[in-house]
């Protein structure tokens, strides 16, 4: 991974850990394959004895009405019940990252 990608990955992990994930746990690993458009995350969640592994098999950053969205394809985790929950209730699979609240929005774009 290049220096800039490594820096952006670290910045993204720190931002998520200090904001969105703070009440739930810590993102310990973030692997982004920009060529294959895949994501792999490892979360250490509060109250859990084993880390949660999450794999996104495809993602795209899309622009709609001057806003950036993250569209994700199939999501697979290391917990069967989470996989069932996602399959049953996550139908849209579109996330609006709060890029303006991120210290380095351009780094997030570059990372993904």
Domain boundaries, the chain: 3-111
HEC per residue, 41-109: EEEEECCCCCCEEEEECCEEEEEECCEEEEEECCEEECCHHHHHHHHHHCCCCEECCCHHHCCCHHHHH
Write out the chain's pLDDT in tens, 112 residues: 576 667 767 777 887 887 888 999 999 998 888 889 999 999 999 999 999 999 999 888 887 787 777 888 889 999 999 999 988 887 666 766 654 554 444 555 556 6
- Give the pLDDT confidence score for residue 64 in this predicted structure: 78
């Amino acid at each position: 991974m290049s220096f800039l990608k490594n820096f952006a990955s670290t910045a993204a992990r720190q931002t998520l850990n200090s904001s969105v994930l703070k009440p739930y746990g810590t993102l310990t690993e973030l692997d982004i394959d920009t060529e294959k458009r895949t994501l792999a995350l490892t979360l250490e969640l509060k109250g859990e004895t084993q880390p949660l592994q999450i794999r996104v098999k495809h993602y795209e950053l899309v622009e709609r009405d001057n806003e950036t969205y993250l569209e994700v394809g199939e999501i697979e985790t290391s917990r069967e019940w989470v996989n069932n929950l996602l399959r049953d209730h996550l139908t849209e699979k579109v996330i609006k990252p709060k890029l303006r609240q991120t210290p380095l929005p351009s780094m997030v774009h570059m990372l993904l």
